[in-house]
Structure 1
């Protein structure tokens, strides 16, 4: 009986180690290992996900960050009326991330067509960069924009593993 319990505990430890190593191994292939691990470890689905699942978790992170950024843009309309034009363009771009890029990436990855998923992820980073440029160096969104670019780059690397 004792041997059986020891064997079962060893199997549990092996499963936990292999799950952790899946995230670690996958993140080693991305441009930002620590960001990748941080994002995937913060989601309970990460410990049991395959590569497609990890990519979908990161697409969810893109969606969450785009929503947060859009809320910040809406808040800035009242605080910084002099930035109305640039904020409007950013709002339009972040809505495109939420309404086009994220759904495209989710559908493509879920259906096993990662190339189109990669396109959606790349476009999220492009939209964030274009938003940032609209402020001509005086953006109140720089930290959110850089986060979107970094998450998009990590996500793209994982989606490329599916090609």
Structure 2
């Protein structure tokens, strides 16, 4: 594993420790360049979004009339149908500006959902984890643009 490349890349993100631990936990990082690290981080975003969405769905099932939860469901639909696919496609085409935008849109959708709950959502831990990895993925895309 190229610990130097991971450290250099992660030091340019808002959450370097999260970045390093996420990338080191994925065996693909061993042979990845910076673009590969970005793709791995987008996969981590997908996993965190899935965890958060499972919580949203579980809560919607318990309280189907909750408008805030229903709205969050739409936010997560956008994350899965628009934002993550945009980033995946953009990384594949070396379009790092669009990759960064896809990941910042994940953050915006997550923030929009979270703001519907005064004092935080009942899934704020999952939401925060998604927020943080998406910001890291956006930062890696930004590194590739420079």
2:126 matched to which residue of 1?
Answer: 144
The one of the two structures with greater contact order (alpha-carbon pairs below 8 A, sep at least 6) is 2
**TM-score using structure 1 length:** 0.84
In the TM superposition, structure 1's runs of 4+ consecutive aligned residues that sit over 6 Å from their partners are: none
**Cα displacement string for residues 103-159 of structure 1 (whole angstroms, at most 9, x for unaligned residues):** 100111110111111110000001000000111224101111111111111111110
SS of residue in 1 equivalent to 2:36? helix
Larger Rg over CA atoms? 1
Unmatched tracts of structure 2, length 5 or more: none
Deviation by residue 1:74-115 (Cα, 9 ceiling, x = unmatched): 111233x28721111111101111111011001111101111
Distance in structure 2 (CA, Å) of the matches to 1:21 and 1:133: 38
1:109–1:117 Cα contact (<8 Å) kept: yes
Q: Distance in 1 between matches of 2:120 and 2:3?
A: 41
Matching residue of 2:101: 119
User: Higher helix share goes to which structure?
Assistant: 1
Long gaps (5+) in structure 1 = 1-15
Aligned to 1:90: 72
What count of residue pairs does the alignment treat as equivalent?
Answer: 145
In the TM superposition, residue 45 of structure 1 has moved relative to its aligned partner by 0.6
